[in-house]
Amino acid sequence: MHYVNPLGVDKIMTLILRFSLPAVVGMMVNSLYNIVDRMFIGNEPSLGTDGLAGITISFPITIILMSVGVLFGIGGATYFAIKLGEGKPEEAEKALGTAFGMLLFSGLVFMVLGQIFLRPLLTFFGASETVLPFAVAYMRVIFFGASFQIISMGMNHFIRADGSPRFAMFTMFISAGINIALDALFIYGFHMGMAGAALATVLAQAVSAIWVLFYFRGSWCKIRLKWKYLVPRLSLVLKLAVLGLPGFFLQLANSLINIIMNKSLLFYGGDIAVSGMGVLHSLHTVMVMPVIGLRQGVQPIISFNYGARKLHRTRKASNLAILIATGIMLIGFTITRLFPTQLFMLFNRDPALLEFGGKASLFWFFGFPVVGLQVVASNFFQSIGRPKTAVFLTLTRQIIFFIPLMLVMPLFIQIDGLLLAKPAADILSAAVTGIWYVVAVRNLERDTLRLDTLQAAQTALPADSNDL
């Protein structure tokens, strides 16, 4: 009996709910990694605001680790889903094996380099003499588990693309649950401080990595992980990497932004401002993660239907995702308006931190209503195999607009300028992305026809030559 992939026939709204809800819940749960670490650290008397600053300084390095998981995870899963849509399962198998091999290799490289250059890196990223010992204690352990983090994150994208979003959600549930339990045990029970928080994270990610391998070696997956494809072929590695570049550059941009932000915060507001930004990052993460989960959930739907040339379904999936994302961000925006100081009190009750946090929340989240459109619409281009456009649109929000604004605005209004640069960049990038998206969707049939004609002509050339 011929298998019919539900991505090509089921109702779009049903598919979005089926694929995105587990991804949204999973990403929310996954976001608890840094949030729970910060909560436990901030409320531990021996760590407090210095511990919060230490994990904030470490955050850019963690983002760089995540970027590799995105590069070969999202890039590989996009190629994987397109090949499934085209009816080429063997090519999908090769993508799966190659991505896993690159994720494993990258994690080992990070582990070695991280241990060698840890102190210079943290100093460069803005750690003061007071905060440096806290950051070193945390990241020393995190680097030992780099492979676990990269593999669990990267391969989970393939689980969704393989048609098992619930299994992908359970991956994050298991990992986050273990992390929370071990955080409490290591920090409060064994009094292991920053190293305890890091060890809890590493052990949780190790279980998650084993879980995703268990899936792809089991009988329930549609495409199995075959060891013969683990040795990377350069041509395929480049294809996966190109498709993963938008998310990869987004993560690198986030890391660069955090480095600049931390240095500027230290200059304008001292360690307490760095600690406050750590709380802002946690709040920002938990509010944006539902949109990231929605983006991940809708990606295989768009990619499969684009590969199958069902363009009306491609458009509908993307438009519905944008509408849902906007609603999610409006909820987050409203919460930050109503409870700015109370949100900071979850992490620490230091009066100086609460004073900074009350105002910072109102400024930082002002552009939230348009963030959903920007994130989902820019990802649309990656999902249909147009990574250059996706990279550009992704970078408008994180680099092209944000970094210049972050450097210039504080010259006039100091730390307020740092905080207002974020919503200004959000609004400008959403405007550019929205225009680009509308034009692309209107021209989707024409561009697809031109691509199919070109591919048909290239395929016909060898046959014509043989006939001669």
pLDDT per position as a tens digit, 142-180: 999 999 999 998 998 898 888 887 788 788 788 888 988
Mean local confidence (pLDDT), 267-295? 89
> Is pLDDT larger for residue 275 or for residue 449?
275
Question: What percentage of the chain's residues is helix, strand, coil (to nearest 5)?
Answer: 85, 0, 15
Confidence (pLDDT) at 463? 46
Instruction: Report CA torsion sign: 256, 172, 304, 217.
Output: positive
Cα dist. 248→68, 217, 243, 269, 404 in Å? 7, 27, 9, 30, 21
| Domain-embedded: residue 153 | yes
- Residue 464 in this model has a pLDDT that exceeds 60: no
Q: Can you read off the two tokens belonging to residue 443?
A: 């021209």
Mean local confidence (pLDDT), 47-69? 89
- Cα 71 to Cα 68: distance, rounded to the nearest angstrom: 5
| Domain-embedded: residue 246 | yes
Q: Which of 1-10, 19-28, 36-45, 182-191 is predicted least confidently?
A: 1-10
> Is pLDDT larger for residue 157 or for residue 6?
157
- Residue 459 in this model has a pLDDT that exceeds 60: no
Q: One-letter amino acid identity for 367?
A: G
Q: Can you read off the two tokens belonging to residue 233?
A: 């072929």
> Nearest Cα to 254, choosing from 454, 462, 60?
60
- Residue 18 in this model has a pLDDT that exceeds 70: yes
Cα dist. 305→8, 82, 176, 384 in Å? 6, 8, 32, 9
- Residue 105 in this model has a pLDDT that exceeds 70: yes
- Residue 48 in this model has a pLDDT that exceeds 50: yes
Mean local confidence (pLDDT), 173-191? 88
| Domain-embedded: residue 463 | no
Confidence (pLDDT) at 324? 95
- Cα 275 to Cα 7: distance, rounded to the nearest angstrom: 44
> Nearest Cα to 353, choosing from 99, 48, 64?
48
Residues in the chain: 468
Q: In this predicted model, what pLDDT tens digit does every residue of 230-260 receive, in sequence order?
A: 887 888 999 999 888 877 877 887 888 888 8
Confidence (pLDDT) at 442? 86
| Domain-embedded: residue 221 | yes
Per-residue confidence at 454, pLDDT binned at 50, 70, 90? low
> Is pLDDT larger for residue 69 or for residue 85?
69
| Domain-embedded: residue 319 | yes
| Domain-embedded: residue 459 | no
- Cα 93 to Cα 84: distance, rounded to the nearest angstrom: 10
Selection from 6-15, 211-220, 397-406 with the highest mean pLDDT: 397-406
Q: One-letter amino acid identity for 24?
A: V
- Residue 465 in this model has a pLDDT that exceeds 70: no
| Domain-embedded: residue 465 | no
- What's the pTM? 0.75
DSSP one-letter string for 150-184: HHHHHHHHHHHHTT-HHHHHHHHHHHHHHHHHHHI
- Residue 288 in this model has a pLDDT that exceeds 60: yes
Burial of 132 (0-12, 13-18, 19+ CB in 10 A): middle
Burial 309-319 (b: 16+ CB within 10 A, else e): ebbebbbbbbb
- Residue 467 in this model has a pLDDT that exceeds 60: no
Mean local confidence (pLDDT), 265-271? 88
- Radius of gyration over every alpha carbon of the chain, rounded to an integer in angstroms: 22
- Residue 31 in this model has a pLDDT that exceeds 80: no
Q: In this predicted model, what pLDDT tens digit does every residue of 120-146 receive, in sequence order?
A: 999 988 888 899 999 999 999 999 999
Confidence (pLDDT) at 452? 63
| Domain-embedded: residue 461 | no
Cα dist. 104→161, 240, 263 in Å? 20, 15, 32
- Residue 461 in this model has a pLDDT that exceeds 60: no
Confidence (pLDDT) at 117? 93
- Residue 83 in this model has a pLDDT that exceeds 90: no
Mean local confidence (pLDDT), 294-322? 88
Cα dist. 107→79, 114, 138, 244 in Å? 22, 10, 17, 17
How high does pLDDT run on average in the chain? 87
Q: Domain range spanning residue 304?
A: 13-451
87 Cβ contact partners less than 8 Å away, ≥ 6 residues apart: none
Domains in the chain, number: 1
Per-residue confidence at 468, pLDDT binned at 50, 70, 90? very low
- Cα 341 to Cα 353: distance, rounded to the nearest angstrom: 9
